[in-house]
Amino acid sequence: MHRFYLPPENCRGDLLWLEGREAHHALHVLRLKRGERVSVLDGVGGEFFCDVQDTAKNSLALAVKEKKSTPLPSCEITLLVAVPKGKIIESITQKSVELGVNRIVPLLTERTITQLDDDDAEGKREKWQQVAIEAIKQCGATWLPKVETPQTISEFMIRGGKIELSLVGSLQTARRHPREWIIEFQKSHGRPPQSAAVWIGPEGDFTLEELRLIEGAGTKPITLGNLTLRVETAAVYCLSFLNYELRHN
């Protein structure tokens, strides 16, 4: 079944309309016809099973036949990742969606090669958010992660919000296995964390000053093993671990 995305404000009522990019794909790539069954995701837990009711040159009318709702995961997970060079961030975004991340925060660090002004940063955010949209359509995730505008560590510290358990992959400071921090949190709170984050540094890792800033805000340093991982590998490793430990126990 083909999946499409519509923002929640466009998913009210018994008739949904595909327009723009989604309609073009449905009409001119998939060549959908009247009566075919499709799925529409609203990015906030809703999935609508629809029949194509009518097609026009640049739009489709979809009749809603069934709706399912998926609650938020028991633990909301944030990925903070230094922007790598090239298009690697697009792959990281795609894999993060598949692993159930709720928020992606691209970081501009001292060792980040990519430099962006305000206009570039917003343009990149929109592009990466579209990558996330395509990823939920591919994997069937009903919750669309929010991709934030690239920002510095200090900027995130000011407006990033409260996270119950924050971890940082580190090569330079005393570190522990991430499971040890989860167990310690559960012992002290009597429950698993309801929100968690993991920080992934750039090629060459965070600087010591950056690590002191991150850890000074209560983030716990973790080991990712004896090997030095690429940024995209470290992100997948950490998200896989957190998804398993905090959502499947």
Rounded Cα distance, 187 and 197, in Å: 19
pLDDT at 170: 82
pLDDT at 121: 87
Rounded Cα distance, 225 and 47, in Å: 39
Rounded Cα distance, 110 and 131, in Å: 26
- Is the separation of the CB atoms in 32 and 59 below 8 Å? no
pLDDT at 111: 86
Smallest CA-to-CA distance from 35 within 20, 57, 50 is with 50
pLDDT at 117: 75
- Is the separation of the CB atoms in 91 and 134 below 8 Å? no
pLDDT at 171: 77
Rounded Cα distance, 214 and 197, in Å: 12
5: β partners:
41
The predicted-structure confidence for 42-100, as pLDDT tens digits, reads as follows 999 999 999 999 888 889 999 999 999 999 999 999 999 999 988 999 999 999 999 99
pLDDT at 115: 75
Tokens matching residue 22: 């989604």
pLDDT at 114: 76
19-42: burial string, b at 16+ Cβ within 10 Å, e else = eeebbebbbeeeebeeebebbbbb
| Structural domains of the chain ordered from first start | 2-69 (2.40.240.20), 76-247 (3.40.1280.10)
Tokens matching residue 139: 């994997």
Residues of the chain with pLDDT under 70: 173, 248-249
